Amino acid sequence: MPPPRLTRAEQQAQTRERLLAAAERVVARCGYGGASIDLISAEAGYSKGAVYSNFESKEAVFLELLRRHMEKNITELAALMDLGADSISAALSGWLEAMAANDDCTMLAVELQLHAKRNPAFAGRYYALQRQSTLTLAGLIERYFIASGAHLPMDAIDLADAVTAISHGLALQRPDAAPGQPSEAGKVIDALLKGFTTRAAVS
Amino acid sequence: MPPPRLTRAEQQAQTRERLLAAAERVVARCGYGGASIDLISAEAGYSKGAVYSNFESKEAVFLELLRRHMEKNITELAALMDLGADSISAALSGWLEAMAANDDCTMLAVELQLHAKRNPAFAGRYYALQRQSTLTLAGLIERYFIASGAHLPMDAIDLADAVTAISHGLALQRPDAAPGQPSEAGKVIDALLKGFTTRAAVS
Amino acid sequence: MPPPRLTRAEQQAQTRERLLAAAERVVARCGYGGASIDLISAEAGYSKGAVYSNFESKEAVFLELLRRHMEKNITELAALMDLGADSISAALSGWLEAMAANDDCTMLAVELQLHAKRNPAFAGRYYALQRQSTLTLAGLIERYFIASGAHLPMDAIDLADAVTAISHGLALQRPDAAPGQPSEAGKVIDALLKGFTTRAAVS
Amino acid sequence: MPPPRLTRAEQQAQTRERLLAAAERVVARCGYGGASIDLISAEAGYSKGAVYSNFESKEAVFLELLRRHMEKNITELAALMDLGADSISAALSGWLEAMAANDDCTMLAVELQLHAKRNPAFAGRYYALQRQSTLTLAGLIERYFIASGAHLPMDAIDLADAVTAISHGLALQRPDAAPGQPSEAGKVIDALLKGFTTRAAVS
DNA sequence: TATGAATGAGCCTTCATTCAT
DNA sequence: AATGAATGAAGGCTCATTCAT
């Protein structure tokens, strides 16, 4: 008899993964408040109890979701840091556009930010993760400006915050984009950054 | 017998007003989900029933809140349009900074945007009002650039959206500022706009 | 049109009373742990929410139940205090027997004591009420001994505690008595007290 | 290969023993309702499944616990019966005091009695065992009175029940004693018995 | 008009129990 | 024999809404 496809640990990991993926979809669709454990477990095809077999609490689900998103962001950005000066500009533009195009991801971030603002316990962990992400982006932006021969119009961290803020703010402010039709957020952000660097280079 | 201070209609209008003001405070403080009818009516000094005597439903309260919010923004911006070219720059900066400093107002806008994204009925009215607000701000920004002798780095409407987006995004992204210590959103936005206009003027 | 039978306040009082009566029956039947809000409200003929319209929490229901029982006990015992020395002995015997015969009431007391042992918040209020009841009973027992010409075999408060303890302990230890067939607890307690007083008088 | 330290059967017996000991501690600490399978198995150092490998159900655990508890009482009391008349008084006092001092054991008995009152299946076995225990104690008390030269103030069985009842009732009625500071239950019971015997002896 | 008791649906969480490993 | 992921039935509690007053 062949061994089973999945060991026990792998099975649980699969369940966890499915629950997290379901949570992500549900939060994006219904908001943090609307994302009930019932909805999430049903979306994943499990019973409510399965969530509590895999996570400490509802909040822990979202915290883990957040951790992964941040981690992914940071890893991706860090990879861009290794690029040469000539390709960094296009790479950053591409990344920002991809990020802005992923509405679900942005809405998740917004919902978690909102939750952090009202929930001190959550906030502690949230801001720690956010800080890492911001610092990485700030470093990248700095390199981007150096590569462009322009000088930063303001503190790199403030600029990184601003870039993230625009991305989130634009996602909030527009009706859900029809699928396939990417939001304009990426273009706008890109235009802003390009505006600074090209002008500065000219002067 | 002297006439009562307030007619019946005036009394009801007063109740309505107080309930709306209370709802605004509660949404900003507790979020849309946390703003229960009980909380709102208590904040206004009434009982739950008063809300249902004055509004169709909980959602109707927020719809009215939104309407007034947008109306106020548009009126204020329109007033700035009448200013002369020499004072428009300072006026716009001032308005943006005041807006950014008012965290409650920003959080209310974010909560309403979020609600609009999930609620088609709400969304219909919301986006109509938002469009008006954006157009007004875009017109103002155009005048601002003209007055500065700079040319617009992108479509004025996109720039107006971006300005609003930064304001909302930054408010979301930072822990609640200590009262009295203004958020940096105003400064950042101002720096961005100034960056464009002054550099462009130099070149 | 004749006025309604019950004013609003009276209606609510009626609901409260019915809920408390239901809670009493359910606790006696199912224990504190088994007395769910669902069971209690159904037993009273209301919805679950009715309990929360009338009480702060589940615990508050039982605390109020306890308060009333203690109050009744104290009032009844205090009334006995006013009796002359010649009738106090029979009166106390009668009261103890009546108390012991009321199994529901005893089981309620036991359940609440148990809950108090595990729940500090509840314990605080519980022991305060219990102390009053004990002191009243101790006073009565003292008079009872004086009236009998016997001297107390131990501290009156310890004796009062012991009398209550026997009543509770015997109720716990026996299968539910068939209705109508009174438990022997009353007789046993009476025999113990009589044993002390008559012997002491003889010696 | 040397034989394993424990045969399979011995291993299982050990697991069973550890689970029962853990259950006893947990019930005393958290009550019957609070003694979850998770808590018990963790306290024993096993997982939930171990309980179901060794017992039919949660209730079966407590049934076995009860059986051992009663068996131990009866054995200990029976041992005292073999003592001579001169030492029986001190021995019984000592046993009662030890019993009363062991709050955990008393609380376990109370919890089991409570459970028996609501559960016919459990009750059947419980009352059979309790009867044996009572009869043994009654016999001992009779000898105690005879040894003291006093006559019984009431039926020996009723007195045995009363003694147990006081012990349980007092344990319930007082806040948890600080460890090391013995409860007064032992003293009170002793005083009651001594009161009867010494007075009776004098008269 | 405003009140607030009562409803009923829904939420987060706990837990005895099952069963594949 | 022991594990522990998953289930499913409760349980305590919240809240928008209704309606008699």
Q: Is residue A3 scored above 60 in pLDDT?
A: no
Question: Beta-carbon neighbour count of residue B11 at 10 Å?
Answer: 12
Question: Beta-carbon neighbour count of residue C72 at 10 Å?
Answer: 12
Both tokens of A28, joined, read 């994006």
Band of pLDDT at residue C203, cut at 50, 70 and 90 = very low
Chain position carrying tokens 């409860």: D183
Chain position carrying tokens 């089981």: C107
Mean per-residue pLDDT for A165-179?
Answer: 84
Q: Is residue C201 scored above 60 in pLDDT?
A: no
Answer whether B27's CB lies under 8 Å from B66's CB: no
CA quadruple C22, C27, C33, C38: dihedral, nearest 10: -10
Measure the CA–CA gap between B147 and B85, rounded to whole angstroms.
Answer: 5
Band of pLDDT at residue B181, cut at 50, 70 and 90 = low
Helix (H, G, I), strand (E, B) or coil at B163: helix
Measure the CA–CA gap between D17 and A69, rounded to whole angstroms.
Answer: 48
Mean per-residue pLDDT for B51-80?
Answer: 91
Q: Is residue D115 scored above 60 in pLDDT?
A: yes
Q: Is residue A119 scored above 50 in pLDDT?
A: yes
Chain C residues with CB under 8 Å of D162 CB are: 166, 169-170, 188, 192
Whether residues B114 and A172 touch (CB distance < 8 A) is answered with yes
Chain position carrying tokens 């803020």: A165
Q: Is residue C66 scored above 80 in pLDDT?
A: yes
Give residue B177's pLDDT. Answer: 65
Give residue D9's pLDDT. Answer: 82
Give residue B147's pLDDT. Answer: 87
Nucleotides in F strand less than 7 A from protein CB = 1-21
Q: B116 phi and psi, to 5 degrees?
A: -60, -35
Nucleotides in E strand less than 7 A from protein CB = 1-21
Whether residues C162 and D192 touch (CB distance < 8 A) is answered with yes
Whether residues C188 and D130 touch (CB distance < 8 A) is answered with no
Instruction: Pick out residues 37-56 of chain A having their CB under 7 A from any atom of nucleic acid strand E.
Output: 37-39, 48-49, 51-52
Measure the CA–CA gap between C165 and C170, rounded to whole angstroms.
Answer: 8
Give residue D197's pLDDT. Answer: 81
State the nucleotide closest to A46 in CA–C1' terms. Answer: F6
Measure the CA–CA gap between D127 and C59, rounded to whole angstroms.
Answer: 32
Greater confidence (C64 vs C203) lies with: C64
Mean per-residue pLDDT for D74-101?
Answer: 88
Q: How far is CA C181 from CA C90, C177, C184, C190, D32, in A?
A: 21, 6, 9, 18, 29
Average predicted confidence (pLDDT) for chain D: 86
Answer whether A123's CB lies under 8 Å from B175's CB: yes
CA geometry: angle at B195 spanning A143 and B167, to 5°?
A: 90
Give residue C198's pLDDT. Answer: 74
% residues pLDDT > 90 (chain B): 36
Q: Is residue A38 scored above 80 in pLDDT?
A: yes
**pLDDT tens digits, C134-166:** 999 999 999 989 888 888 888 999 999 999 999
Q: What is the pTM of this model?
A: 0.87
Give residue A203's pLDDT. Answer: 43
Q: Is residue B182 scored above 80 in pLDDT?
A: no
Give residue D184's pLDDT. Answer: 76
Q: Is residue D200 scored above 60 in pLDDT?
A: no
Written as one letter, the residue type at C161 is D
% residues pLDDT > 90 (chain A): 42
CA quadruple D141, D144, D150, D156: dihedral, nearest 10: 10
Measure the CA–CA gap between C88 and C193, rounded to whole angstroms.
Answer: 13
Half-sphere exposure of B153 (CA within 13 A, CB side): 26
- Angle in degrees, 0-180, between the axes of helices C156-173 and C103-118, rounded to the nearest 10: 110
Q: A25 phi and psi, to 5 degrees?
A: -65, -45
Give residue D142's pLDDT. Answer: 92
CATH 1.10.3720.10 applies to domain D1-55 = no
Chain position carrying tokens 């998770």: D38
Band of pLDDT at residue D203, cut at 50, 70 and 90 = very low
The H or E element spanning position D186 is helix D185-202
- How far is the alpha carbon of A15 from chain B, nearest alpha carbon, in Å? 28
Written as one letter, the residue type at D195 is G
Band of pLDDT at residue B99, cut at 50, 70 and 90 = confident
Measure the CA–CA gap between C113 and C134, rounded to whole angstroms.
Answer: 14
Mean per-residue pLDDT for C30-47?
Answer: 95
Chain C residues with CB under 8 Å of D176 CB are: 117
Written as one letter, the residue type at A169 is G
Query: What is the fold of C60-202?
Result: Tetracycline Repressor; domain 2 (1.10.357)
Give residue C195's pLDDT. Answer: 81
Band of pLDDT at residue A51, cut at 50, 70 and 90 = very high
- How far is the alpha carbon of A172 from chain B, nearest alpha carbon, in Å? 6
**Protein residue nearest nucleotide F2, by CA to C1':** D50
Whether residues A168 and B172 touch (CB distance < 8 A) is answered with yes
**Protein residue nearest nucleotide E20, by CA to C1':** A8
- Angle in degrees, 0-180, between the axes of helices C85-101 and C120-148, rounded to the nearest 10: 140
Domain ranges of chain D: 1-55, 60-202
Give residue A1's pLDDT. Answer: 43
Measure the CA–CA gap between A119 and A125, rounded to whole angstroms.
Answer: 11
Q: Is residue A48 scored above 90 in pLDDT?
A: yes
Give residue B118's pLDDT. Answer: 85
The string of DSSP letters for chain C reads -PPPSS-HHHHHHHHHHHHHHHHHHHHHHHHHHH--HHHHHHHHTS-HHHHHHH-SSHHHHHHHHHHHHHHHHHHHHHHHHTS-HHHHHHHHHHHHHHHHH-HHHHHHHHHHHHHHHH-HHHHHHHHHHHHHHHHHHHHHHHHHHHHHTPPPSS-HHHHHHHHHHHHHHHHHHSPPPPTTS--SHHHHHHHHHHHHHHHHHH-
Mean per-residue pLDDT for B22-47?
Answer: 93
Q: Is residue B115 scored above 90 in pLDDT?
A: no
Give yes or no on whether B1-55 and B60-202 have one common fold: no
Average predicted confidence (pLDDT) for chain C: 87
Band of pLDDT at residue B20, cut at 50, 70 and 90 = very high
Whether residues D31 and C202 touch (CB distance < 8 A) is answered with no
Average predicted confidence (pLDDT) for chain A: 87
Average predicted confidence (pLDDT) for chain B: 86
C1' (E17) to CA (C158) span, angstroms: 46
Greater confidence (C85 vs B202) lies with: C85
Q: Which of A30, A104, A199 to mutate to test the interface with B (most CBs of B within 10 A)?
A: A199
Give residue A202's pLDDT. Answer: 45
State the nucleotide closest to A15 in CA–C1' terms. Answer: F5
Mean per-residue pLDDT for B129-146?
Answer: 91
Give the residue numbers in C contacting D (CB under 8 Å), as ranges.
29-34, 107, 110-111, 113-114, 116-118, 123, 127, 130, 153-154, 158, 161-162, 164-170, 172-173, 175-176, 184-185, 188, 191-192, 195-196, 199-200, 202-203
Give residue D3's pLDDT. Answer: 56
Q: Is residue C1 scored above 80 in pLDDT?
A: no
Give the residue numbers in A contacting B (CB under 8 Å), as ranges.
29-34, 107, 110-111, 113-114, 116-118, 123, 127, 130, 153-154, 158, 161-162, 164-170, 172-173, 175-176, 184-185, 188, 191-192, 195-196, 199-200, 202-203
